[in-house]
Chains A and B, each alone.
Chain A
Amino acid sequence: MKVAPAIEGARTATPGTDKAIDSQMNEILTHFKGEKGELIPILQQVQQRFGYLPEQAMKRIAEFVHVPPSTVFGIGTFYAQFKLVPTGRNIIKVCRGTGCYVRGAPKIITELENQLGIKDGDTTPDMEYSLETVACFGSCALAPVMVVNDKVHGRMTPEKAKKAIGKKSE
């Protein structure tokens, strides 16, 4: 697959080297005091910055809030928002909530899986796209719904879904 055309909101920064991660972590941590209650907000910042939780970052955070690394890993695996492996520049999320399910979400998911050649939860080998399904975006009245990076698209059809990820229709 060729590098896709830029879609609005694609993540530009890549995590880069260990050193780059370290210096970005320094920056993120300056906004926090080091209290246990900040653990999840810190992880959210890291997730947003890198698209996943690098192991090295999690160790840093453990030291920072004075808990064993296992606690940080435990939280990283518990919440669906956190990913432990790198994700693509473009995050494609499809709703699998009830409102969307009865209005044809499975067809949208199948179409995207076919278009991208990956399954729900995976990332394309070129790191361009990650495909996720999400429990509900709260726009159920416009079902089926998908979100490309941060833009919400309603009343999807397989054809519109294809366009939304920047693929031309035949």
Chain B
Amino acid sequence: MSFEEIKRQAASEWKAMQNSPIPRILIGTATCGMAAGAETIMEALNAELAKNNIKADIIQVGCIGLCYAEPLFEVIKPGKPGVFYGDLTPELVAEIIRDWLVGDNPRPDLALGTRGEGTLKGIPKLFELPVLKPQVRIVLRNCGNIDPTNIGHYIANGGYEGFIKALKMKPQEIIDEMKKSGLRGRGGAGFPTGMKWQFCHDAPGTVKYIVCNADEGDPGAFMDRAVMEGDPHAVLEGMLIGAYAIGASEGYVYIRAEYPLAIKRLVVALKQMEECGLLGDNILGSGFNFHIKIKEGAGAFVCGEETALMASIEGNRGMPRSRPPFPAQSGLWGKPTNINNVETWANVSAILQKSASWFASYGTEKSKGTKTFSLVGKVVRTGLIEVPMGITLREIIYGIGGGIPGGKKYKATQTGGPSGGCLPTSFLDSPVDYESLAAAGSIMGSGGMVVMDETTCMVDVARYFLNFTQSESCGKCVMCRLGTKQMLDILQDIVNGKGRPGDIELLLEVGDAIKNGSLCALGGTAPNPVQTTIRYFRDEYEAHINEKRCPALACRPLISYYIIPEKCQGCGICIRACTSEAIKGGKRMVHVIDQSKCAKCGTCLDVCPAKFSAVAISSGAPVKAPAEPVPVGGKA
């Protein structure tokens, strides 16, 4: 079959599905949907459909990104717009089937929003909601919309058109198009993609390689996983285009082993490409050959670094080496190699399908297009988002994210993972692009965005990241290996209440030395989380060191739990919950915590009824509570 025929068939099948006389239910079954309980919902759905004798197509899709509302599905009744329902339980599934599929009530009280033509009374349009309105979907164009295991769905939505166009262009024309688009690498450093391709294209040699970096090592980030699970062909088509432009006939996807579902989806997608003649020898009769292999990582953060990654593919310990030579000159097995991130590749296919100028119409002068972020941490609507470059942090956190839960105060946003930094309140109105984030001392990174509130201790966060980089250092460079250890020891002392005057200066000094003495960016950026938190939250460091006080009331060694005598009603709930037997009390007695027995687990604070709110935390001062239980209402 020629591609034209494949396309025609895919289009007619897609159309038939859209016009199908039976209802369709699209359910998100990516890893995160599963973690939220999508499996139980599927079972309930099948049972309810059978019970009510309804025939419906159930289509498993990737993520639409509304993770906070998972498990989630979209119910499409013939001739009606699709209706999204979130926070599903088996009971809600039964109600929705009964009222909307059997009956005629779309349950506006349960619906999140509608998608597609037409409106339903009392239900907003999904893409008009604050969570989606500011978003622009280029990378995530098909996620949550198509069945990722069906190449026909991808093709019917414009898939592989970009590659067909590329086949009719000269390699240099494709590279020029990439340069014109202004696309910069989404793996962290933001290097211009067109320029990178040019280097590899120009490198002498007939054997060249293409690599897709799907190691996604930044803890707290899952954009790449979501794309591979929800729309694997978008990434693979990008690789095909890149290979053709550069002149490579072999490609690798290096993917972390922690992503079993994404691996499964890629395997299926590769097989379908072959069946359609889009992969292998003489692709679509063009004489162009390309093969893709999947390589699973084995759990080392440093393997996301390009030279370490290539060492790992070759079967060695994943240790970075010095550059030059750059991979474009000497990469895998000494051959010119071009390596790009998952999201970069997914942008490539979109750019060729639409155009460079279309892509460049989004974003800012130096940061074109969109960026995906995984918005997590202390934010109401956690999720996978895609926004035009240049949007402000405030629009992301308060607009899309809906602000901070529990009425708490915003403190900082961490971008760039272990290589990045923490941005305080004063940056809420700064644009999110490569330059602004770098100016603030952080980096764009791959897209992890962790929101922190007043209960997050910034010294502890710095310690957390140092602990991460210290244990992930490959050990090659002395400064990275031992310097991070020293910084970690100092930070450990500070959060344990053993900080000394001069520690802050020492941290800054060691940090600079690590930056200068490290071969790769793991060491080169490891001090960033510490240095930015010192820059913006120096007062928190000083409180820990000078007053042995944790202002966020988070560092266990520096806090004490106590029961406020005026508030305790002697209900005894905390006594039963405390596994350390640290609470003394009795009926109608004000309870007290024995500090010598308390493990500081915080359970008593969690279980004390909200109407009493009698358990509190203090730091830096002795607790104000009696030593032994006293009658409720009496004087403390």
A99 an interface residue at 8 Å Cβ cutoff? yes
Could you mark each residue 146-170 of chain A with 1 if its beta carbon is under 8 Å from any beta carbon of chain B, else 0?
0000101111001000000000000
Give chain A interface residues in 109-152, CB to chain B under 8 Å: 110, 114, 134-143, 145, 150, 152
Contact: A43 with B35, CB < 8 Å? no
Partner of A137, one of B258, B450, B461: B258
What chain B residues lie within 8 Å of A141 (beta carbons)? 32, 67-68, 70, 222, 374-376, 382-384
Give chain B interface residues in 21-42, CB to chain A under 8 Å: 31-32, 34-37
Stretch at the interface among B45-53, B169-177, B292-300, B583-591: B292-300
A102 an interface residue at 8 Å Cβ cutoff? yes
- Interface contacts beyond A75-B316, A137-B35: sample of 9 additional A-B pairs, CB < 8 Å, sorted by A: A35-B315, A65-B315, A78-B318, A80-B300, A98-B220, A103-B376, A138-B31, A141-B374, A152-B31
A74 an interface residue at 8 Å Cβ cutoff? yes
Give chain A interface residues in 76-96, CB to chain B under 8 Å: 78-82, 95-96
A16 an interface residue at 8 Å Cβ cutoff? no
Task: Tell me, rounded to whole Å, the shortest Cβ–Cβ distance linking B423 to chain A.
Answer: 14
Q: Which of A65, A114, A141 has the most CB of B within 10 A?
A: A141
Cα–Cα, bound, A111→B296 (Å): 32
Contact: A152 with B376, CB < 8 Å? no
Partner of A138, one of B222, B312, B417, B579: B222
Contact: A99 with B376, CB < 8 Å? yes
Q: Which of A43, A138, A154 has the most CB of B within 10 A?
A: A138
Cα–Cα, bound, A136→B313 (Å): 22
Give chain B interface residues in 416-433, CB to chain A under 8 Å: 417
Number of residues from A at the complex interface, CB < 8 A: 46
B414 an interface residue at 8 Å Cβ cutoff? yes
Task: Tell me, rounded to whole Å, the shortest Cβ–Cβ distance linking A49 to chain B.
Answer: 15
Task: Tell me, rounded to whole Å, the shortest Cβ–Cβ distance linking B32 to chain A.
Answer: 4
Q: Jot down 23 A-B pairs with beta carbons below 8 A, ordered by A.
A: A36-B314, A36-B315, A37-B313, A38-B315, A41-B295, A44-B298, A80-B300, A81-B299, A97-B220, A98-B448, A98-B465, A99-B220, A99-B448, A102-B377, A102-B378, A107-B602, A134-B258, A135-B299, A136-B217, A136-B258, A138-B31, A141-B222, A152-B35
Of all chain A residues, the one with the shortest Cβ separation from B456 is A102
B317 an interface residue at 8 Å Cβ cutoff? yes
Size class of the B contact interface (CB-based, 8 Å): 35 or more
**Nearest 7 A/B pairs, CB to CB:** A97-B219, A141-B67, A154-B35, A80-B299, A79-B298, A138-B222, A98-B220
Contact: B296 with A44, CB < 8 Å? yes
B259 an interface residue at 8 Å Cβ cutoff? yes
Contact: B35 with A136, CB < 8 Å? no
Contact: A41 with B296, CB < 8 Å? yes
What chain B residues lie within 8 Å of A153 (beta carbons)? 35
A101 an interface residue at 8 Å Cβ cutoff? yes
A39 an interface residue at 8 Å Cβ cutoff? yes
Could you mark each residue 556-577 of chain B with 1 if its beta carbon is under 8 Å from any beta carbon of chain A, else 0?
0000000000000000000000
What chain B residues lie within 8 Å of A81 (beta carbons)? 257, 297-299
B17 an interface residue at 8 Å Cβ cutoff? no
Known contacts A99-B220, A99-B377, A110-B601; A155/B299 CB under 8 A: no
Of all chain A residues, the one with the shortest Cβ separation from B296 is A44
Task: Tell me, rounded to whole Å, the shortest Cβ–Cβ distance linking B346 to chain A.
Answer: 16
B301 an interface residue at 8 Å Cβ cutoff? yes
Contact: B448 with A142, CB < 8 Å? no
Contact: B219 with A136, CB < 8 Å? yes
Cα–Cα, bound, A80→B474 (Å): 12
Of all chain A residues, the one with the shortest Cβ separation from B260 is A150
Task: Tell me, rounded to whole Å, the shortest Cβ–Cβ distance linking B256 to chain A.
Answer: 8
Partner of B298, one of A43, A97, A107, A135: A43
A6 an interface residue at 8 Å Cβ cutoff? no
A28 an interface residue at 8 Å Cβ cutoff? no
Contact: B257 with A154, CB < 8 Å? no
B326 an interface residue at 8 Å Cβ cutoff? no
Contact: A79 with B299, CB < 8 Å? yes
Of all chain B residues, the one with the shortest Cβ separation from A140 is B376
A40 an interface residue at 8 Å Cβ cutoff? yes
What chain A residues lie within 8 Å of B225 (beta carbons)? 138
Cα–Cα, bound, A35→B299 (Å): 22
What chain A residues lie within 8 Å of B456 (beta carbons)? 102
Chain B residues at the A interface, C-beta cutoff of 8 Å: 31-32, 34-37, 67-68, 70, 216-222, 225-226, 257-260, 295-301, 312-318, 374-378, 382-384, 414, 417, 448, 450, 452, 456, 461, 464-465, 468, 474, 579, 601-603
What chain B residues lie within 8 Å of A96 (beta carbons)? 219
Of all chain A residues, the one with the shortest Cβ separation from B602 is A107
What chain A residues lie within 8 Å of B296 (beta carbons)? 40-41, 44
Contact: B35 with A99, CB < 8 Å? no
What chain A residues lie within 8 Å of B299 (beta carbons)? 79-81, 134-135
Cα–Cα, bound, A103→B384 (Å): 17
What chain A residues lie within 8 Å of B257 (beta carbons)? 44, 81
Cα–Cα, bound, A38→B314 (Å): 8
Cα–Cα, bound, A43→B296 (Å): 11
Cα–Cα, bound, A37→B70 (Å): 40
What chain B residues lie within 8 Å of A75 (beta carbons)? 315-317
What chain B residues lie within 8 Å of A82 (beta carbons)? 298
Of all chain A residues, the one with the shortest Cβ separation from B300 is A79
What chain A residues lie within 8 Å of B601 (beta carbons)? 107, 110
Cα–Cα, bound, A155→B33 (Å): 12
Of all chain A residues, the one with the shortest Cβ separation from B313 is A37
Cα–Cα, bound, A119→B556 (Å): 19
Contact: A99 with B450, CB < 8 Å? yes
Cα–Cα, bound, A99→B223 (Å): 13
Contact: B222 with A139, CB < 8 Å? yes
Task: Tell me, rounded to whole Å, the shortest Cβ–Cβ distance linking A61 to chain B.
Answer: 11
What chain B residues lie within 8 Å of A101 (beta carbons)? 464
Of all chain B residues, the one with the shortest Cβ separation from A38 is B315
Task: Tell me, rounded to whole Å, the shortest Cβ–Cβ distance linking A53 to chain B.
Answer: 11
Cα–Cα, bound, A145→B220 (Å): 11
Contact: A37 with B314, CB < 8 Å? yes
Contact: B298 with A152, CB < 8 Å? no
Contact: B259 with A143, CB < 8 Å? no
Could you mark each residue 29-61 of chain A with 1 if its beta carbon is under 8 Å from any beta carbon of chain B, else 0?
000000111111101100000000000000000
Task: Tell me, rounded to whole Å, the shortest Cβ–Cβ distance linking B297 to chain A.
Answer: 8
Contact: A135 with B36, CB < 8 Å? no
What chain A residues lie within 8 Å of B382 (beta carbons)? 140-143
Contact: A37 with B452, CB < 8 Å? no
Of all chain A residues, the one with the shortest Cβ separation from B301 is A135
Cα–Cα, bound, A78→B448 (Å): 26
Task: Tell me, rounded to whole Å, the shortest Cβ–Cβ distance linking A153 to chain B.
Answer: 6
Partner of B35, one of A40, A102, A145: A145
Cα–Cα, bound, A142→B87 (Å): 12
Of all chain B residues, the one with the shortest Cβ separation from A101 is B464
Contact: A155 with B316, CB < 8 Å? no
Contact: B32 with A142, CB < 8 Å? yes
What chain A residues lie within 8 Å of B218 (beta carbons)? 136
Task: Tell me, rounded to whole Å, the shortest Cβ–Cβ distance linking B541 to chain A.
Answer: 19
Partner of A103, one of B318, B377, B448: B377
Known contacts A98-B220, A99-B450, A152-B31; A138/B259 CB under 8 A: yes
Task: Tell me, rounded to whole Å, the shortest Cβ–Cβ distance linking B69 to chain A.
Answer: 10
Cα–Cα, bound, A40→B256 (Å): 13
What chain A residues lie within 8 Å of B219 (beta carbons)? 95-99, 135-136, 140
